[in-house]
């Protein structure tokens, strides 16, 4: 199936790596005008160059989503002059640590990036979408941890459960304006975030007989793109406040 996002403008946060990067590429290749944002500008520049080599154009924007002013600046990007149609909010961090070993600074960094960052992005996205009186689709990348927590990820799981709740509440508030808000909840996806937080998980990246993932292998970032595009497109026009789990069946096994 192919999607056509011609004439649509999208912001993708966390677009320098992993899931956000794959979705930014998918949307741009499907015709959307993509503003790819991240804290890692070098990686954004590399993404822009790679796409230019394929005659696909994107804008890039440095933005730390935990900084309210930077989020405000991102949503003032000139590409949004005619409005914003799609937000993919993928920026996020994690680490594996027992609750008793988690420092207050580590706790705060998870809350500020994963929860406050989501709040700032959703607030500004809705304002931009409403300003232009157009409908819009917001997709928040949460996690299966929002549905069933794992040990050593208590704070991370809390932030993901909180952003799912935030997305659901917002979905109710903005539905009358034609704006939809849904979550994409990945399972184990082969990205730097997972490899750094849980090094043994990287071994599941190839098909392996011992994998707990029913589909037989860890997801790749590209495995998230179809669901994100579906949620961004009119095909999901009657869906809001939903969380779509995309995990190869992993949740069923725990």
Ligand X SMILES: NC(=O)c1ccc[n+]([C@@H]2O[C@H](COP(=O)([O-])OP(=O)(O)OC[C@H]3O[C@@H](n4cnc5c(N)ncnc54)[C@H](O)[C@@H]3O)[C@@H](O)[C@H]2O)c1
Q: Is 26 in the site for ligand X (CB under 6 A)?
A: no
> Which is nearer to ligand X, 42 or 134 (by Cβ)?
42
Sole binder of ligand X in the list 35, 51, 87, 91 (CB under 6 A): 91
Q: Which stretch binds ligand X (CB under 6 A): 4-12, 84-92, 98-106, 130-138?
A: 84-92
206 is catalytic: no
Query: Does residue 165 contact residue 115 with C-beta atoms inside 8 Å?
Result: no
| Tokens coding 42 | 């070098």
Q: Is 20 in the site for ligand X (CB under 6 A)?
A: yes
Q: Is 93 in the site for ligand X (CB under 6 A)?
A: yes
Residue tagged active-site, from 66, 97, 156, 158: 156
130 is catalytic: no
Radius of gyration of the chain (CA): 17
| Tokens coding 27 | 């949307």
Q: Is 41 in the site for ligand X (CB under 6 A)?
A: no
Residue among 60, 53, 65 at smallest CA distance from 29: 53
DSSP state of 181: E
Q: Is 137 in the site for ligand X (CB under 6 A)?
A: no
Q: Is 117 in the site for ligand X (CB under 6 A)?
A: yes
> Which is nearer to ligand X, 47 or 126 (by Cβ)?
47
- Cβ neighbours of residue 56 closer than 8 Å, sequence gap 6 or more: 25, 28, 29
User: What is the SS3 assignment for 254?
Assistant: coil
120 is catalytic: no
138: enclosing H helix or E strand: strand 136-141
Q: Which stretch binds ligand X (CB under 6 A): 10-18, 25-33, 80-88, 127-135?
A: 10-18
> Which is nearer to ligand X, 29 or 40 (by Cβ)?
40
- Residue 207 has a CB neighbour count (10 Å cut-off) of 11
- Cβ neighbours of residue 100 closer than 8 Å, sequence gap 6 or more: none
Q: Binding mask 192-231 vs ligand X (x if CB under 6 A, - otherwise)?
A: xxx-------------------------------------
Query: Does residue 168 contact residue 227 with C-beta atoms inside 8 Å?
Result: no
Residue among 37, 42, 36, 243 at smallest CA distance from 145: 243
Q: Is 34 in the site for ligand X (CB under 6 A)?
A: no
Interface ranges with ligand X (CB under 6 A): 13-14, 16-20, 38-40, 63-66, 90-94, 113, 117, 141, 143, 186, 188-189, 191-194
The residues annotated with a catalytic role in the active site are 143, 156, 160
């Amino acid at each position: 199936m192919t999607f056509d996002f011609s004439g649509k403008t999208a912001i993708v946060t966390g677009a320098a790596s992993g899931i956000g990067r794959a979705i930014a590429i998918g949307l741009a290749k499907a015709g959307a005008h993509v503003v790819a944002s991240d804290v890692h500008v070098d990686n954004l520049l590399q993404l822009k160059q790679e796409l230019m080599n394929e005659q696909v154009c994107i804008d890039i924007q440095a933005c730390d989503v935990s900084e309210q002013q930077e989020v405000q600046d991102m949503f003032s990007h000139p590409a949004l002059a005619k409005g914003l149609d799609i937000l993919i909010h993928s920026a996020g961090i994690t680490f594996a640590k027992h609750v008793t070993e988690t420092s207050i600074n580590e706790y705060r960094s998870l809350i500020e990036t994963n929860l406050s960052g989501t709040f700032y992005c959703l607030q500004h996205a809705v304002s931009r979408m409403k300003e232009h009186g157009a409908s819009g689709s917001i997709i928040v990348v949460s996690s299966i941890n929002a549905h069933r927590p794992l040990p050593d990820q208590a704070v991370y799981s809390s932030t993901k459960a909180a952003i799912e709740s935030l997305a659901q509440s917002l979905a109710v508030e903005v539905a009358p304006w034609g704006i939809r808000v849904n979550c994409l909840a990945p399972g184990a996806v082969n990205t730097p975030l997972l490899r750094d937080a849980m090094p043994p998980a990287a071994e599941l990246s190839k098909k392996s007989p011992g994998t707990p993932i029913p589909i037989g292998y860890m997801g790749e970032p590209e495995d998230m793109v179809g669901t994100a595009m579906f949620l961004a497109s009119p095909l999901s026009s009657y869906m809001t406040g939903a969380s779509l789990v995309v995990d190869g069946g992993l949740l069923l096994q725990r």
